[in-house]
Amino acid sequence: MRKIAIIGAFSLMVFGHAFSQTNQNNVNMKQTELSDDHTFKLSDKVTRQKVTFKNRYGISLVGELYVPKNNSNEPLAAIAISGPFGAVKEQSSGLYANQMAERGFIALAFDPSYTGESSGEPRNIASPDINTEDFSAAIDFLGLQKNVDRTHPSKIKFCS
């Protein structure tokens, strides 16, 4: 079942279980020192870590996973966020992921294909078809996380 709701400039889509495309070989999570080139300040209620995963075309996507601090180890709802075409995760999508993590979501802000740290050629183009695949891969990635509640389809969402 798929529902669409518009919140401000973002669309929110609810997916069922779409976790089959991504496997553990396509996922890389690193606890690294992140650059300070973000356009916002990281909340002291949130942790952020760099992650990579691939879409079904083999394009490596780079994102940042925002997780609320001090959650009681219970599975949380998750949301995948990408900014408007041309934006990168250090801008609006990271800002919203930071704010959503403050509110109790696990939030993934990622650079879409051809943009930012993600791979793909030619660079800096907008492709709605590939963007859809990127979101599918982001949902798959979130579904593989142990701290994400996968028992209810409305617990994993994406914003663009």
For residue 41, what pLDDT is reported? 81
> Which tens digit of pLDDT belongs to each residue from 39-92?
678 889 999 999 999 999 999 999 999 999 987 788 999 999 998 877 888 888
Ordered structural domains, the chain, with CATH = 3-32+46-159 (3.40.50.1820)
For residue 51, what pLDDT is reported? 97
21 burial via Cβ count (<10 Å: 0-12, 13-18, 19+): middle
Q: Specify whether the CB–CB gap between 63 and 142 falls below 8 A.
A: no
Distance CA 158, CA 80 (A): 4
For residue 32, what pLDDT is reported? 43
- Mean pLDDT score across all residues of the chain: 77
For residue 126, what pLDDT is reported? 84
pLDDT-derived band at 158 (thresholds 50, 70, 90) equals: low
For residue 33, what pLDDT is reported? 45
* C-alpha atoms less than 13 angstroms from C-alpha of 139 in its C-beta half-sphere: 26
CA-closest candidate to residue 117, choices 64, 77, 156 = 64
Strands 46-54 and 10-14: unpaired
Distance CA 84, CA 71 (A): 30
> If you average pLDDT over residues 7-16, what whole number do you get?
30
Measured CA to CA in angstroms, residue 137 lies from 36, 68, 73, 92, 108 at distances of: 26, 22, 24, 20, 11
Rg (CA), the chain: 14
For residue 160, what pLDDT is reported? 58
Structure tokens that stand for 50 in this block: 């760099």
